[in-house]
Amino acid sequence: MTDTPLSAAAPSPPVGTRPSLSIVIPMYREQDNVGPMLARVHEGLAHYGGPWELICVDDGSLDETGARLLAVGAEYGPHVRVIRFARNNGQTMAMQAGIDAARGDIIATLDGDLQNDPADIPRMIDELLARDLDLLAGYRANRQDAWMSRKLPSRIANRLIARVTGVKIRDYGCSLKVYRAHVIKQVRLYGEMHRFIPVWAAMVTSPSRISETAVSHSARQFGESKYGISRTFRVVLDLLTVFFFLRFRARPGHFFGSIGLLLGFLGSAGMSWLAFVKFILGEPIGGRPLFLISVLLLVFSIQFLTTGLLAEMLSRIFYQRQEGPLTIAEGPALAGDSWRQDLTAESDSAFSRG
């Protein structure tokens, strides 16, 4: 992939009235959607009024998706950039590759199945800027999908995610989102975590700067969906990881330590009772199941406590290696050494008054 300057679609208002934009579209086995998708994007962005680029990521498709992206993209110009994976890595990695390659101040993501309407992007960008948000997610107000295989799993997943994470987004599964680039580039996606992007973004910005808006949705015309009701179970597993990172990313010792202390308390209580039985009542305890259970609980307690200590050490090493200062959303910053001069002046004034 060759880097070229961002190009403004023609016809368009004078470049510069809107921020630069990068549109990221991951595609997998969508050969019949390549031509219509690129045409829809250019129609929707024809009057954007700012420089924009389109980044299409072929996620190791075995059909003609990659070849058609290169051929059709070349017809539109150098602002259409194509990234091709040697093998299938999943939608999350494809989206991350596109975000990494994006050069615009605003980044928009959407699926390559033509169910999202690219014409919604300019309106979403205006709303993002007007409301001073860092992330604006779309939700499919009139979703055109099968109820049992698509809508039901999404409703279950959305309610689970919102309840566990506390980030109230109605439609986590909608890929049509717009972000400020400096925020989304601080988020690293892996596994199948693309559906949790608002949650990950809430770790680097205030949840109050994350919102949603209604977007158009159409029925799939070409190809077939790669997802079904089975993804609900995968969401549950991913949700456990998200919950852990949300609550204990900076203090993993609290998670493992709490479990270790609970197990240690139960094991100690069991051993205390057995000591009472042995030394006060004079009864044998070697053959009692409680003896083995109490010993195992104490062993597990030690394991969890030591795991918590190791996790704390790794966490400290991780945060010490992070470069750059903490991000401050608001507040005046003192430039250079002026704070030294201000403090010196205050001290001299106080001394003269004394």
Average pLDDT over residues 131-154: 73
Per-residue pLDDT band at 149 (split at 50, 70, 90): low
Query: Tens of pLDDT along 286-310?
Result: 888 999 999 999 999 999 999 999 9
In this structure, the strands spanning 177-180 and 210-215 are unpaired
In this structure, the strands spanning 210-215 and 135-140 are parallel
Locate the domains of the chain by residue range.
21-248, 252-321
Collapsing DSSP states into helix, strand and coil, what is residue 217?
Answer: strand
Alpha-carbon torsion angle 82, 154, 214, 121, nearest 10: 0
Torsion angles phi and psi, residue 246, rounded to 5: -65, -45
| This model's pTM is above 0.75 | no
**Tokens 């009057």 correspond to what residue?**
47
**Residue-level pLDDT at 326:** 44
Query: Is CATH 1.10.40.30 the right assignment for the domain spanning 21-248?
Result: no
d(CA 141, CA 216) in angstroms, rounded, equals 7
Q: Please, are residues 1 and 81 in contact by the beta-carbon 8 Å criterion? A: yes
Residue 113 pLDDT > 50, yes or no?
A: yes
DSSP 157-201: HHHHHHHHH----S-TT---EEEEHHHHTT----TTGGGGHHHHH
Residue 221 pLDDT > 70, yes or no?
A: no
Average pLDDT over residues 155-159: 68
Residue 14 pLDDT > 50, yes or no?
A: no
Q: Please, are residues 25 and 55 in contact by the beta-carbon 8 Å criterion? A: yes
Average pLDDT over residues 115-134: 92
**Residue-level pLDDT at 1:** 47
**Residue-level pLDDT at 285:** 86
Q: What is the mean pLDDT of the chain?
A: 80
Residue 157 pLDDT > 90, yes or no?
A: no
CA angle 157, 24, 175 (to 5 degrees): 15
Per-residue pLDDT band at 13 (split at 50, 70, 90): very low
Least confident stretch, 78-87, 110-119, 219-228, 306-315: 219-228
**Residue-level pLDDT at 68:** 94
Per-residue pLDDT band at 148 (split at 50, 70, 90): low
Residue 121 pLDDT > 90, yes or no?
A: yes
Average pLDDT over residues 27-36: 90
Residue 325 pLDDT > 50, yes or no?
A: no
Torsion angles phi and psi, residue 183, rounded to 5: -90, -50
d(CA 179, CA 185) in angstroms, rounded, equals 9
**Residue 298: enclosing H or E segment and its boundaries?**
helix 289-321
Least confident stretch, 21-35, 249-263, 317-331: 317-331
Residue 41: closest CA among 105, 147, 118: 118
d(CA 16, CA 295) in angstroms, rounded, equals 70
Q: Which residues, 6 or more positions from 45, have their beta carbon under 8 angstroms from its beta carbon?
A: 9, 21, 23, 52, 118, 121, 122
d(CA 168, CA 176) in angstroms, rounded, equals 17
Residue 329 pLDDT > 50, yes or no?
A: no
Half-sphere exposure of 124 (CA within 13 A, CB side): 33
Q: Please, are residues 52 and 6 in contact by the beta-carbon 8 Å criterion? A: yes
d(CA 66, CA 319) in angstroms, rounded, equals 39
CA-to-CA dists, residue 315 to 190, 248, 251, 261, 322, angstroms: 19, 10, 7, 20, 11
**Residue-level pLDDT at 156:** 66
